[in-house]
Protein backbone atom coordinates (compact mmCIF):
# COMPACT_ATOMS: atom_id res chain seq x y z
CA UNK A 1 0.00 0.00 0.00
CA UNK A 2 1.26 3.49 -0.83
CA UNK A 3 2.08 5.67 2.18
CA UNK A 4 0.21 8.67 0.70
CA UNK A 5 -2.85 7.93 -1.43
CA UNK A 6 -4.61 10.82 -3.14
CA UNK A 7 -7.96 9.79 -4.55
CA UNK A 8 -10.08 11.87 -6.97
CA UNK A 9 -9.17 15.13 -5.28
CA UNK A 10 -11.10 18.22 -6.41
CA UNK A 11 -10.90 21.71 -4.94
CA UNK A 12 -13.12 24.52 -6.18
CA UNK A 13 -13.16 28.12 -5.01
CA UNK A 14 -16.62 29.53 -5.54
CA UNK A 15 -17.71 29.41 -9.18
CA UNK A 16 -14.16 29.55 -10.51
CA UNK A 17 -12.39 26.75 -12.36
CA UNK A 18 -11.19 23.96 -10.07
CA UNK A 19 -7.71 24.41 -8.62
CA UNK A 20 -7.59 20.59 -8.54
CA UNK A 21 -9.77 18.50 -10.78
CA UNK A 22 -10.15 14.77 -10.02
CA UNK A 23 -6.45 14.44 -9.14
CA UNK A 24 -5.14 11.05 -7.99
CA UNK A 25 -1.62 9.97 -7.04
CA UNK A 26 0.19 7.29 -5.01
CA UNK A 27 3.41 8.07 -3.13
CA UNK A 28 5.44 5.25 -1.65
CA UNK A 29 6.90 5.25 1.84
CA UNK A 30 10.36 6.89 1.90
CA UNK A 31 9.87 8.38 -1.58
CA UNK A 32 11.01 11.95 -2.36
CA UNK A 33 8.46 13.37 -4.78
CA UNK A 34 8.45 16.80 -6.41
CA UNK A 35 5.27 18.47 -7.66
CA UNK A 36 5.68 20.85 -10.63
CA UNK A 37 3.50 22.78 -13.04
CA UNK A 38 2.69 26.34 -14.16
CA UNK A 39 1.58 28.91 -11.60
CA UNK A 40 -2.01 28.49 -10.48
CA UNK A 41 -2.38 24.80 -11.37
CA UNK A 42 -3.01 23.68 -7.79
CA UNK A 43 0.44 22.71 -6.48
CA UNK A 44 0.23 24.62 -3.20
CA UNK A 45 -3.46 23.76 -2.86
CA UNK A 46 -2.54 20.09 -3.06
CA UNK A 47 0.11 20.47 -0.37
CA UNK A 48 -2.28 22.37 1.92
CA UNK A 49 -4.92 19.67 1.56
CA UNK A 50 -2.43 16.90 2.36
CA UNK A 51 -1.39 18.97 5.40
CA UNK A 52 -5.07 19.19 6.46
CA UNK A 53 -4.86 22.99 6.30
CA UNK A 54 -7.58 23.05 3.61
CA UNK A 55 -10.54 20.80 2.96
CA UNK A 56 -11.11 19.38 -0.53
CA UNK A 57 -14.39 19.93 -2.33
CA UNK A 58 -14.41 16.18 -2.96
CA UNK A 59 -12.00 13.28 -2.82
CA UNK A 60 -9.82 11.92 -0.03
CA UNK A 61 -6.18 11.88 1.04
CA UNK A 62 -4.99 8.83 2.99
CA UNK A 63 -1.72 8.90 4.96
CA UNK A 64 -0.59 5.50 6.25
CA UNK A 65 -4.08 4.25 5.45
CA UNK A 66 -5.83 6.97 7.47
CA UNK A 67 -8.29 9.36 5.77
CA UNK A 68 -6.70 12.58 7.06
CA UNK A 69 -8.97 14.85 5.00
CA UNK A 70 -12.02 13.40 6.77
CA UNK A 71 -10.78 14.19 10.27
CA UNK A 72 -12.20 16.86 12.52
CA UNK A 73 -10.05 19.87 13.44
CA UNK A 74 -8.64 18.52 16.72
CA UNK A 75 -7.53 15.21 15.22
CA UNK A 76 -6.11 16.97 12.14
CA UNK A 77 -4.16 19.38 14.37
CA UNK A 78 -2.68 16.46 16.31
CA UNK A 79 -1.63 14.86 12.99
CA UNK A 80 0.16 18.08 12.01
CA UNK A 81 1.93 18.33 15.37
CA UNK A 82 3.07 14.72 15.64
CA UNK A 83 3.45 13.26 12.15
CA UNK A 84 3.97 16.18 9.79
CA UNK A 85 7.01 18.35 9.09
CA UNK A 86 5.94 21.48 7.21
CA UNK A 87 8.46 23.72 5.43
CA UNK A 88 7.06 26.95 3.97
CA UNK A 89 8.54 30.10 2.45
CA UNK A 90 7.63 32.16 5.53
CA UNK A 91 10.10 30.78 8.08
CA UNK A 92 8.15 32.18 11.06
CA UNK A 93 11.14 32.10 13.40
CA UNK A 94 10.45 33.79 16.73
CA UNK A 95 12.83 36.78 16.94
CA UNK A 96 13.18 36.74 20.75
CA UNK A 97 14.19 33.08 20.92
CA UNK A 98 17.65 31.72 20.22
CA UNK A 99 18.14 29.42 17.25
CA UNK A 100 18.29 26.45 19.60
CA UNK A 101 15.01 27.43 21.25
CA UNK A 102 13.36 28.03 17.86
CA UNK A 103 14.33 24.53 16.77
CA UNK A 104 13.09 23.02 20.04
CA UNK A 105 9.77 24.89 20.00
CA UNK A 106 7.53 22.10 18.55
CA UNK A 107 8.67 19.71 21.30
CA UNK A 108 8.08 22.23 24.06
CA UNK A 109 4.48 22.61 22.86
CA UNK A 110 3.85 18.88 23.06
CA UNK A 111 3.54 17.62 26.64
CA UNK A 112 5.39 15.96 28.14
CA UNK A 113 8.65 17.77 27.37
CA UNK A 114 11.05 15.04 26.16
CA UNK A 115 13.98 14.29 28.48
CA UNK A 116 16.32 14.10 25.48
CA UNK A 117 15.32 17.52 24.12
CA UNK A 118 18.86 18.92 24.14
CA UNK A 119 20.20 15.85 22.36
CA UNK A 120 17.50 16.04 19.70
CA UNK A 121 18.20 19.74 19.09
CA UNK A 122 21.90 18.95 18.75
CA UNK A 123 21.16 16.10 16.34
CA UNK A 124 19.05 18.12 13.90
CA UNK A 125 21.42 21.08 14.21
CA UNK A 126 24.25 18.81 13.08
CA UNK A 127 22.15 17.47 10.19
CA UNK A 128 21.74 21.04 8.87
CA UNK A 129 25.21 22.32 9.91
CA UNK A 130 23.74 24.71 12.48
CA UNK A 131 25.85 23.69 15.48
CA UNK A 132 27.77 27.01 15.81
CA UNK A 133 24.58 29.07 15.55
CA UNK A 134 22.41 27.68 18.34
CA UNK A 135 22.98 30.60 20.73
CA UNK A 136 22.39 33.28 18.09
CA UNK A 137 19.10 34.97 17.20
CA UNK A 138 17.27 34.93 13.82
CA UNK A 139 18.30 38.49 12.87
CA UNK A 140 21.95 37.43 13.13
CA UNK A 141 21.56 34.76 10.44
CA UNK A 142 21.48 34.87 6.66
CA UNK A 143 18.31 33.93 4.78
CA UNK A 144 19.84 30.58 3.86
CA UNK A 145 20.71 29.87 7.49
CA UNK A 146 17.20 30.85 8.60
CA UNK A 147 15.76 28.43 6.05
CA UNK A 148 17.86 25.62 7.52
CA UNK A 149 16.68 26.53 11.02
CA UNK A 150 13.05 26.33 9.86
CA UNK A 151 13.78 22.94 8.29
CA UNK A 152 15.43 21.67 11.49
CA UNK A 153 12.41 22.84 13.49
CA UNK A 154 10.10 21.03 11.05
CA UNK A 155 11.81 17.68 11.49
CA UNK A 156 12.69 17.67 15.20
CA UNK A 157 9.44 15.82 15.98
CA UNK A 158 10.68 13.00 13.71
CA UNK A 159 7.73 13.29 11.32
CA UNK A 160 6.82 10.47 8.99
CA UNK A 161 5.85 12.96 6.26
CA UNK A 162 7.62 16.18 5.20
CA UNK A 163 5.84 18.75 3.03
CA UNK A 164 7.94 21.55 1.52
CA UNK A 165 6.36 24.45 -0.40
CA UNK A 166 8.89 26.27 -2.64
CA UNK A 167 11.60 25.88 0.03
CA UNK A 168 14.33 27.56 -2.05
CA UNK A 169 12.28 30.42 -3.52
CA UNK A 170 13.95 33.11 -1.39
CA UNK A 171 17.48 31.67 -1.55
CA UNK A 172 20.36 32.51 -3.87
CA UNK A 173 21.90 29.77 -5.97
CA UNK A 174 24.59 28.76 -3.45
CA UNK A 175 22.25 28.80 -0.43
CA UNK A 176 19.63 26.84 -2.37
CA UNK A 177 22.14 24.15 -3.33
CA UNK A 178 23.39 23.86 0.25
CA UNK A 179 19.85 23.59 1.59
CA UNK A 180 18.81 20.97 -0.96
CA UNK A 181 21.87 18.86 -0.24
CA UNK A 182 20.96 18.90 3.46
CA UNK A 183 17.31 18.08 2.71
CA UNK A 184 18.18 15.18 0.40
CA UNK A 185 20.68 13.80 2.94
CA UNK A 186 18.09 14.08 5.71
CA UNK A 187 15.46 12.37 3.58
CA UNK A 188 17.63 9.36 2.84
CA UNK A 189 19.03 9.03 6.38
CA UNK A 190 15.74 9.49 8.25
CA UNK A 191 13.69 7.42 5.76
CA UNK A 192 10.91 10.00 5.62
CA UNK A 193 8.39 10.46 2.86
CA UNK A 194 8.92 13.92 1.36
CA UNK A 195 6.69 15.92 -1.00
CA UNK A 196 8.18 19.11 -2.40
CA UNK A 197 6.37 21.75 -4.47
CA UNK A 198 8.58 23.77 -6.80
CA UNK A 199 8.65 25.57 -10.15
CA UNK A 200 12.43 25.14 -10.34
CA UNK A 201 13.96 22.25 -12.31
CA UNK A 202 17.24 22.45 -10.38
CA UNK A 203 15.42 22.07 -7.05
CA UNK A 204 13.31 19.26 -8.52
CA UNK A 205 16.42 17.35 -9.64
CA UNK A 206 17.15 16.45 -6.00
CA UNK A 207 13.92 14.39 -5.86
CA UNK A 208 13.34 10.74 -6.79
CA UNK A 209 10.31 11.45 -8.96
CA UNK A 210 8.61 14.53 -10.39
CA UNK A 211 4.86 14.71 -10.95
CA UNK A 212 3.58 17.45 -13.26
CA UNK A 213 0.15 19.02 -12.82
CA UNK A 214 -1.62 20.89 -15.60
CA UNK A 215 -5.08 22.46 -15.30
CA UNK A 216 -5.50 20.80 -11.92
CA UNK A 217 -4.92 17.30 -13.28
CA UNK A 218 -2.10 14.79 -13.48
CA UNK A 219 -0.12 15.56 -16.64
CA UNK A 220 3.11 13.51 -16.57
CA UNK A 221 5.79 12.03 -14.32
CA UNK A 222 9.53 11.50 -14.67
CA UNK A 223 11.69 9.33 -12.43
CA UNK A 224 15.37 9.70 -11.61
CA UNK A 225 17.67 6.95 -12.83
CA UNK A 226 20.51 8.11 -10.58
CA UNK A 227 22.16 10.70 -12.85
CA UNK A 228 21.16 14.16 -11.59
CA UNK A 229 22.20 16.03 -14.75
CA UNK A 230 20.14 13.74 -16.98
CA UNK A 231 17.21 13.95 -14.58
CA UNK A 232 17.46 17.76 -14.64
CA UNK A 233 17.31 17.73 -18.45
CA UNK A 234 14.26 15.43 -18.40
CA UNK A 235 12.54 17.78 -15.99
CA UNK A 236 13.27 20.83 -18.16
CA UNK A 237 11.90 19.08 -21.26
CA UNK A 238 8.71 17.98 -19.52
CA UNK A 239 8.25 21.39 -17.88
CA UNK A 240 8.43 23.03 -21.30
CA UNK A 241 5.70 20.75 -22.63
CA UNK A 242 3.51 21.34 -19.57
CA UNK A 243 3.88 25.10 -19.79
CA UNK A 244 6.02 25.43 -16.66
CA UNK A 245 9.04 27.62 -16.07
CA UNK A 246 12.43 26.83 -14.49
CA UNK A 247 15.75 28.32 -13.54
CA UNK A 248 17.99 28.37 -16.59
CA UNK A 249 21.18 26.72 -15.36
CA UNK A 250 22.95 23.40 -15.48
CA UNK A 251 24.24 21.27 -12.66
CA UNK A 252 27.94 21.45 -11.91
Q: What is the pLDDT of residues 200-230, one digit of tens each?
A: 999 999 999 999 999 899 999 999 998 999 9
Domain 4-93+159-242 in CATH 3.40.50.300: yes
* Euclidean distance between CA atoms 176 and 243, whole angstroms: 24
The answer to whether residues 205 and 232 touch, using CB atoms and an 8 Å cutoff, is: yes
Q: What is the pLDDT of residue 247?
A: 41
Residues of the chain with pLDDT under 50: 245-252
pLDDT of residue 218: 93
Residue 244: its pLDDT value, please? Answer: 52
Residue ranges in the chain assigned as alpha helix (H): 43-50, 73-83, 99-108, 117-127, 143-155, 173-190, 201-204, 228-242
Rounded to a whole number of angstroms, the CA Rg of the chain reads 18
Which helix (H) or strand (E) segment is 166 a member of? none
For the question of whether the overall pTM of this predicted structure is more than 0.85, the answer is yes
Task: Give the pLDDT confidence score for residue 36 in this predicted structure.
Answer: 94
Task: Return the domain boundaries, the chain.
Answer: 4-93+159-242
Amino acid sequence: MAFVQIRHLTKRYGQHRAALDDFSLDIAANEFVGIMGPSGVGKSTLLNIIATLKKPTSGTVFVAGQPVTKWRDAKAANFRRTQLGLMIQDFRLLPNLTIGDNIALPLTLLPPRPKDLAERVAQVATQFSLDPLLTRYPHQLSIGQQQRVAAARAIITKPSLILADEPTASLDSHAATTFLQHLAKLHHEAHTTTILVTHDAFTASFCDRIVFIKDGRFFAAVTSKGNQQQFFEQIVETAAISGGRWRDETIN
